[in-house]
Chain A
Amino acid sequence: MNTLFGEKKEGATKIVLKSVDEYPDAPITLGTTLINFTGDWRTFIPVVNNDKCVKCYICWKFCPEPAIYIREDGYVGIDYDYCKGCGICANECPTKAITMEKEEK
């Protein structure tokens, strides 16, 4: 299946589609925006505590942006280029492994 993000790899790569043929037929994506860095929207930043994480991936399912990815070691990573700081992941995490902290810029 061709989405606007294809397979998300660790770290952000800004995708620029140069020809109409590169677009999928339907505007389906992994996030709420098609191609956009949503990372500069936030005030709070989610921080994962791997000691509490049980690898349930609920945060990954709920994140409205393609910001959470599953790392090779099975823990979740957060792609801060896409994380908009909405806090849904922290709210949904059953073990409270994610906390929202004020971002220092």
Chain B
Amino acid sequence: MKYKPIRKVVSGNYAAAYAAKHARVEVVAAYPITPQTSIIEKIAEFISNGEVENLQYVPVESEHSAMAACIGASAAGARAFTATSAQGLALMHEMLHWASGARLPIVMVDVNRAMAPPWSVWDDQTDSLAQRDTGWMQFYAENNQEVYDGVLMAFKVAETVNLPAMVVESAFILSHTYDIVEMIPQELVDEFLPPRKPLYTLTDFDNPIAVGSLGGPNDYYEFRYKIEKAMDDARKVIKEVGKEFGEMFGRDYRQMIELYRTDDADFVFMGMGSLMGTVKQAVDVLREEGYKVGAAKVRWFRPFPKDELYELAKNVEGIAVLDRNFSFGQEGILFNEAKGVLYNTNAHPIIKNYIVGLGGRDFTVNDVKKIAENMKAIIEKGELDVEVDWYHLKR
């Protein structure tokens, strides 16, 4: 489809706010936390300027309440949105289960920020990945454009499978850095994302219901299975929605793992979020220097793109998993997932974990080059030096 995008120079946070506006969200409940605050400030500005109709902002006293308010609004049939970061997301944790369990398609932007202590406001994925098992879908954005596109797609996917979704962007690297974002004219967004059709609503007074009832051992199990079934369905829906988005707006998101120059690659760098922009740039540099490398950017972490990872792993000799996160007592979280997927398959490339960029530490093209040298040596030797490499550690 030919259309004229509206180009704006915005921060990642403003991109999120515009996407929420264009998605015609009806209820926003949020509590300010660095570096998420400017998302909510921008939405408040839309309201005070009269730029949005039919949007109720609910000021709350904590993130736990923010999610509770979104749950109430969503159960009543509204399109609900919120945003948070780090400790705020941790405080919401309990409520995240209520949202997915009640099958409410709430969309939330999490601005990835390191968990304290030490107190930190910089980028780190451990906050969102710690919510892995809450039944929320997770989309990781590489740049401001993907924050905007991600929010619109997340609503569509969420409302199709009736599960909530998180769109994740990195603290400061995206949240406060300005870039050109191509926004979509409202009437086309409306076409892509029609009004929500809720599974049920609390405001259907002819059919009163209770949500969140007590479930005994005889029934609880079946509802867990239903969530997993919806997650599994989401894989198909994500690809369809990503394809439709591409056909309508020119940016194709049908791959749950975006592959960059992987076709003839000996080994690939796999990771999520903004650091993959750096990796792609490094891949170009390394290719010039004769390395046959590629990048595999995991866009959706939940549901996890198992089949796509398997296809990738069949065709490469090595995978360097770059984790800007850590699960204490084990290893990087993406690494853990990737190894788990490949165990019962016939694809067993050498797979190594590099812990990078925790708490906002710089991760540069030069770092990727060093990792490439290390990976090359490992593949030539045919064995790992260490499985989990604390890459930046001062030794």
Contacts and interface: CB of A to CB of B under 8 A. Distances in A.
Interface stretch (B58-66, B218-226, B336-344, B365-373): B218-226
A34 B230 CA distance: 21
A28 B214 contact: no
B213 A27 contact: yes
A29 B204 CA distance: 13
A91 interface: no
B210 A20 contact: no
Nearest to B205: A61
A64 B211 CA distance: 11
B209 A3 contact: yes
Contact of A17 (B200, B204, B213, B219): B219
A35 B225 contact: no
A26 B102 CA distance: 5
Contacts, number: 72
B325 interface: no
A35 B218 contact: yes
A20 B222 CA distance: 6
A35 B222 contact: no
B211 A28 contact: yes
B215 to A, nearest CB: 4
Given A17-B222, A26-B199, A36-B216, A64 B210 contact: yes
Contacts of A20: 222, 225-226
A30 B209 contact: yes
The 7 closest A-B pairs by CB, nearest first: A26-B103, A33-B214, A34-B215, A28-B209, A29-B213, A34-B219, A20-B222
26 contacts: A1-B200, A1-B209, A3-B209, A17-B222, A20-B222, A23-B222, A23-B223, A23-B226, A26-B102, A26-B103, A26-B199, A26-B200, A27-B102, A27-B212, A28-B102, A28-B200, A28-B209, A28-B210, A28-B211, A29-B209, A30-B208, A30-B210, A31-B213, A34-B213, A36-B216, A61-B208
